[in-house]
Structure 1
């Protein structure tokens, strides 16, 4: 006997029940129990699980590609281009305002030319990345459309909500796996960064001079310092300053301030602020947080000159040599009164000096900008007179030495984080003039500001 039940209208399949009679022997004495058989036949055919798994893998690959950093790079480059373009427009506007009927300086045109070249290079990079990403996006759009079409086809088989339940199960499995992994994970041990590294890499090279001009007081003032405040007060973001030492190359009497870099280049409007007490000694002063820090004249002290109130505070630098006891030197001569060298970087304000306790070797100290107390100090093995100058980047001291009238070399580094010292850097850069009396790194624009035999010069630093 076969019982056929047709339920295809509601569920889309046929259910066939069959009852098999028991076999009897010839005598009719023995009987075998009856058995029922259920035969389920899908009207649409078996559900294509393999296709569903393949679609799942394809979608995962698409997600991984969509998460690539390359799709964010054009946005970052575009933002950088906009920033540089705004700076260039502002600079050109300032030049136009200051134009007095005479020719602009060659340096002014050269700076604009360099910035336009940098913009063109960035635009080429942006165009290349956009082309590459458009190809990738077209491929992903095609894949997404294919997946959509195949899912639509699979919905024909989904009378029993297979795909919907499969998605729920996938989400549950993913949540369970994440929870288990979080419980079993071992905390990653702290890894010390490679000595001499910043968050943006290690110092690799120094550019050719980005700008170069004679200071506004003339060649009679070979010693001095200049730069830009890395922590400016509101309204002074583009302010630049210049301090020259008197004919004795020993002390300064005033700070000349320019409201913008273009004012400095074109010898535009400026403001002179005179020191009433504690004149600065040597070319090692820096501007930081709207205050000028320097070695107090004829004293083993540091001074802080507030640019707004013009008040001065001072504090003794313990055991520090001064008055030409531990200056920077070349093989032929020394740079006078360079015993105390102030410096700035991403970590704040520093002073580089030497003491008899450290046998004339370089001492590095980080300063409290309010009261000039020492926050931390490190003794190095670098004999200070063997270096011609020094600066800091990310808590790493870099020292230079004289190679030739045209070449200076960064040969030494000391990492205050790890205590690692190296004497084999060999990072050479070209000079405008033989002597370098002052250099300081500005973490805001990552430039090196140099005063060289009466010329003010800037360099860009490259990191890897």
Structure 2
């Protein structure tokens, strides 16, 4: 019986009995069980504990320890270099050695603290995960008391409002972008890679290492041409560029223009070393034979000019792309093209093996332009390319999958380690990978096979 009917009934009974008192008492019986306020309070306390346990300060602690290690290790290397210069077997060497021992002690202490912090975080993560599962179960039980669906209706309204806000902000963003596109890209951020679009064997008897693609700045009448470079000597050297007038002629291995020779013998001065080459403006850019410099071979004049890279640049297979099982030989210098021109990706001893990106400027000879330094270790990378002024790096997942996991936006200097774009491989290894701004394709040379993928932008 409803409460609003019970009260008038009590009043009527009291009047009929002509009782001297106007007070009325009655019993209210309900089929609903009592709401467990104590359980709700326990859930609120558990949620508050999770919020206090997982805090920004916990992450800041790890960041500070890692920062300390990053600063200590270069200092230790400097101290070792000092010891090597001053070691006379007597006083100076003993003093420098004592400094190094002190540095090592401090580094060991930092490593111990870092290990302890990581273990504590792992334990905290496991406990918090268990607690969240428990809270989730408790909340579902509490929702059963919402017989009139008040709370669920509020949650539904909140979701609808959130979706409406997203839709409204999305429309506004399309008409008036809040941020410029990354780098020099007119397409927006790289979102996905699909394909392969092309998958074909190379020339008969072709070699494991090589590269292929299109010229982003071709001569008139050669807009649809393709090029191919194979390392024909020891998977290390090449001395010609093979041209094709169309994709179909490339697939059936019919090279009508034939080979453009850099030199008649191989290897020799100015021939190609390593697979990471590109063609741009009827000129081939590559790692000069046995040098830490970029060669540019003009296919029309048959002349070679070169650009010297900074002192300490690693070459002759000392700074390769690698994964756990193997390194790709003589991939010290990686040439790349995008909408703005030619880039070179390399590493130096001064950068402790991290990737370095430099713009190659036009000129006679070509010059080295602006340079960007990254925090990405080169031998933890299997390949790299540049698209729209953004450097991307890949890593080996397994024989069927490669992942674009890293990016550096040259316009903002922002680094990302969570790009998370997968490439479905047709063969286990990718010896060269380059982006073509002509058609937004990735051209891959993979264990003698020529493969291409479509790049999808935002």
Does 1:398 find its partner at 2:396? no
Does 1:250 find its partner at 2:243? no
- Kindly state the Cα deviation for residue 247 of structure 1 after the two structures are TM-superposed: 4.3
Deviations 1:44-98 (A, max 9, x none): xxxxxxxxxxxxxxxxxxxxxxxxxxxxxxxxxxxxxxxxxxxxxxxxxxxxxxx
Does 1:200 find its partner at 2:184? no
**In the alignment, which residue of structure 1 is the partner of 2:196?**
209
**In the alignment, which residue of structure 1 is the partner of 2:350?**
357
C-alpha separation between the residues in 1 aligned to 2:319 and 2:341?
24
C-alpha separation between the residues in 2 aligned to 1:373 and 1:196?
21
* One of 408, 411, 430 as aligned partner of 1:436: 430
Q: Which runs of 5+ in 2 are unaligned?
A: 1-176, 264-268
- Kindly state the Cα deviation for residue 265 of structure 1 after the two structures are TM-superposed: 1.3
- Kindly state the Cα deviation for residue 201 of structure 1 after the two structures are TM-superposed: 1.7
**In the alignment, which residue of structure 2 is the partner of 1:385?**
379
Cα root mean square deviation, aligned:
1.7
- Kindly state the Cα deviation for residue 194 of structure 1 after the two structures are TM-superposed: 5.7
Question: Structure 1 residues 381 and 265, CA, compared in 2 at 3 Å: closer, same or farther?
Answer: same
Larger radius of gyration: 1
* One of 210, 221, 224 as aligned partner of 1:238: 224
Does 1:313 find its partner at 2:305? yes
Q: Residue 195 of structure 1 contacts residue 420 of structure 1 at CA under 8 Å; is this kept in 2?
A: no
Alignment of 1:92-171 (within 5 A): none
C-alpha separation between the residues in 2 aligned to 1:279 and 1:429?
31
Deviations 1:1-26 (A, max 9, x none): xxxxxxxxxxxxxxxxxxxxxxxxxx
Q: Residue 242 of structure 2 contacts residue 255 of structure 2 at CA under 8 Å; is this kept in 1?
A: no
Does 1:451 find its partner at 2:445? yes
- Kindly state the Cα deviation for residue 257 of structure 1 after the two structures are TM-superposed: 0.7
Q: Residue 365 of structure 1 contacts residue 377 of structure 1 at CA under 8 Å; is this kept in 2?
A: yes
SS in 2 for 1:432: coil
C-alpha separation between the residues in 2 aligned to 1:374 and 1:284?
18
Alignment of 1:250-329 (within 5 A): 250-270=236-256, 271-276=258-263, 277-319=269-311, 320-329=313-322
**In the alignment, which residue of structure 1 is the partner of 2:409?**
415
Question: Structure 1 residues 269 and 363, CA, compared in 2 at 3 Å: closer, same or farther?
Answer: closer
C-alpha separation between the residues in 1 aligned to 2:208 and 2:351?
31
Q: Residue 196 of structure 1 contacts residue 414 of structure 1 at CA under 8 Å; is this kept in 2?
A: no
C-alpha separation between the residues in 1 aligned to 2:205 and 2:402?
24
- Kindly state the Cα deviation for residue 262 of structure 1 after the two structures are TM-superposed: 1.5
Deviations 1:113-155 (A, max 9, x none): xxxxxxxxxxxxxxxxxxxxxxxxxxxxxxxxxxxxxxxxxxx
Give the TM-score normalised by the residue count of structure 2: 0.58
Give the number of aligned pairs.
275
Question: Structure 1 residues 316 and 197, CA, compared in 2 at 3 Å: closer, same or farther?
Answer: closer
Question: Structure 1 residues 402 and 268, CA, compared in 2 at 3 Å: closer, same or farther?
Answer: same
C-alpha separation between the residues in 2 aligned to 1:306 and 1:217?
27
C-alpha separation between the residues in 2 aligned to 1:202 and 1:438?
22
C-alpha separation between the residues in 1 aligned to 2:199 and 2:438?
20
Give the TM-score normalised by the residue count of structure 1: 0.57
C-alpha separation between the residues in 2 aligned to 1:440 and 1:195?
19
SS in 2 for 1:226: strand
Moved over 6 A (4+): none
**In the alignment, which residue of structure 1 is the partner of 2:73?**
none
**In the alignment, which residue of structure 1 is the partner of 2:334?**
341
SS in 1 for 2:281: coil
C-alpha separation between the residues in 2 aligned to 1:335 and 1:215?
19
SS in 2 for 1:198: coil
- Kindly state the Cα deviation for residue 218 of structure 1 after the two structures are TM-superposed: 2.7
C-alpha separation between the residues in 2 aligned to 1:191 and 1:354?
35
Q: Residue 184 of structure 2 contacts residue 389 of structure 2 at CA under 8 Å; is this kept in 1?
A: no
Does 1:228 find its partner at 2:228? no
Deviations 1:410-439 (A, max 9, x none): 000001110000111111120000000001
Deviations 1:256-310 (A, max 9, x none): 1111112111222431111125101000110000100100011111111001111
- Kindly state the Cα deviation for residue 193 of structure 1 after the two structures are TM-superposed: 2.6
Deviations 1:336-385 (A, max 9, x none): 00000000011111000001111110000001132221110011000000
Q: Residue 213 of structure 2 contacts residue 443 of structure 2 at CA under 8 Å; is this kept in 1?
A: yes
